[in-house]
Structure 1
Amino acid sequence: MSYHKDRKKVREALIESGVVVVMNKKHVTNPQDMITTMWEVYQAGFVAETTFRIDAGILREAMKELTGMREESPKEKPFILGCGSVINPDELEQAIDMGFDMIVAPGNVMGGHGEGAEFVKITREAEVFSAPAILTPTELQYFIERPDGLEPDAIKVFPAGVHGASGIGGLLAPYVRDRHEGRIIMPTGGVNSETAAAFRKSISAAGYIPVLGMSAPLALVAGEKKPGDAETIRKSLQQFKESMAE
């Protein structure tokens, strides 16, 4: 089986998941921690996003095995490998070279080098799903009203807690257009099982598709200081699912 990157497949996986599980140093201390965590997140039905908050050497070593696991995943349910906290051109280049399917940024320019559209152009050429972040109406408009077609695959709102759920609804309100219906909005930062429903409601009401970015699904792993422990990861993910169902 030969795996080919497909941004549409990433979009489908994100919409089905509804949640991106964001990882940091509390969840990963070595390559095996990352491999185990991303696999368990996938098995639980979510999309995992490792980050450059974790040492790049760990990411690169883990990806050697993860890309092989992705190769063996079902075509109808591919093992999507996401990478976030990408903040400069070097990290962007590394993430693409490592083989990630999705690259998420906390800002919308790469370390001040070039315009935000360059991030979209580079990822699109590599058939990598792009999700740069915005916080203001000006930034949102820059990405969704482009005559050159260099619009990102998803738009992250970070830190979403600054706006809150109602604030994001207000941010999106002037941009309610038929042509924008179905765009993915990924609020991250201040999003958890308690605030999730409100974020989903406000984003959906504007005609956009909510995909929530958060570390909450791995709260038990961080709390018990058991990075990479499969049993703890599974228990944490299950607790998160139950809290979301309440």
Structure 2
Amino acid sequence: MTNLLKKLEGINVVPVVTLDNAKDAVPLAIALQAGGINAIELTLRTEAALDGIRAIKDANLGILLGVGTVINKGHVKACAEIGVDFIVTPGTTPTLIKAIAEAGVPAIPGISTTGEAVAMIEAGYDFVKFFPAEANGGIKALRAIGGPLTQLKFMPTGGINQGLVRSYLDVSSVVTVGGSWVADKGNLADKNWDAITENAKIAQSL
């Protein structure tokens, strides 16, 4: 997990993207890289998701390829077969953690409470996703959960817009934040790669 954490250091925002068209995956990844972001989290929320993930993997762009909304053993197996760089769960059950361990896929497990955070420490994780961040109390809640658990680092995700990024990054336990605004639905639908590149530049400058 330490290796994954190091790879994400210096990336202010990991774009969280839901693709409706798999053909958009590679141009999207290229646009993000042009803006200085070398990581992406593609969510498993649409039928196009896995084909888009495979397309980025096959393109060999060097972008850190993450997959989000991983919620079952089938998802984990598919990600392992593709060879993604990491997976992200919105929440984490013992069954899901077991499947991840068996597959050997690097993961950022999702937590929303102190009890869940401790459970992830017990499972051997030192880097977790705090989700949904803003709806779950934001920075105040994140500090409260992380305060006694100094061994944990966080990737808060959920409701974090451009204006909130820096305040989250200023929390010492936060490595990076997840955000959908970098590659929003409007620009994706319009295939406005230049706008996405500009958003990536903005994210890296915050």
Fold match by TM threshold 0.5: yes
> Structure 1 stretches (4+) deviating beyond 4 angstroms?
239-242
Partner of 1:130: 107
Q: Give 3-state SS (helix, strand or coil) of 1:217's partner.
A: coil
Would you say how many aligned residue pairs link Structure 1 and Structure 2? 204
Structure 1: any 5+ residue segments left out of the alignment?
Answer: 1-6
Cα pair distance change 1:189/1:173, threshold 3 Å: same
Report the Cα offset of residue 30 of structure 1.
Answer: 1.5
Task: Give the CA deviation at 1:184.
Answer: 3.0
> Is contact 1:18–1:211 with CA below 8 Å preserved after alignment?
yes
Partner of 2:140: 166
Match of 2:194 in 1: 231
Gap regions ≥5 residues in structure 2: none
Structure 1 position 186, deviation (Å): 0.7
Q: Counterpart of 1:4?
A: none
**Residue identity in the other structure for 1:160:** A
How is 1:61-210 mapped onto 2 (pairs within 5 angstroms)?
61-70=51-60, 73=61, 78-109=62-93, 114-123=94-103, 125=104, 128-144=105-121, 146=122, 150-152=123-125, 154-161=127-134, 162-176=136-150, 180=151, 183-202=152-171, 204=172, 208-210=173-175
Shift of 1:133: 0.6
Higher relative contact order (CA 8 A, sep 6+): 2
Counterparts in 2 of 1:40 and 1:143: CA distance versus 1, 3 Å: same
* CA positional deviation for 1:230: 2.2
**What root-mean-square deviation, in Å, do the aligned CA atoms of Structure 1 and Structure 2 show?**
2.3
Compared with structure 1, are the counterparts of its residues 91 and 116 closer, same or farther at alpha carbon in structure 2 (3 Å cutoff)?
Answer: closer
- Per the normalisation by structure 2, the TM-score is 0.86
Q: Percent identity?
A: 23
CA spacing shift, 1:83–1:106, aligned 2, 3 Å: same
Give the number of the structure whose alpha-carbon radius of gyration is greater: 1
Aligned equivalents of 2:3, 2:58: Cα separation in 1: 18
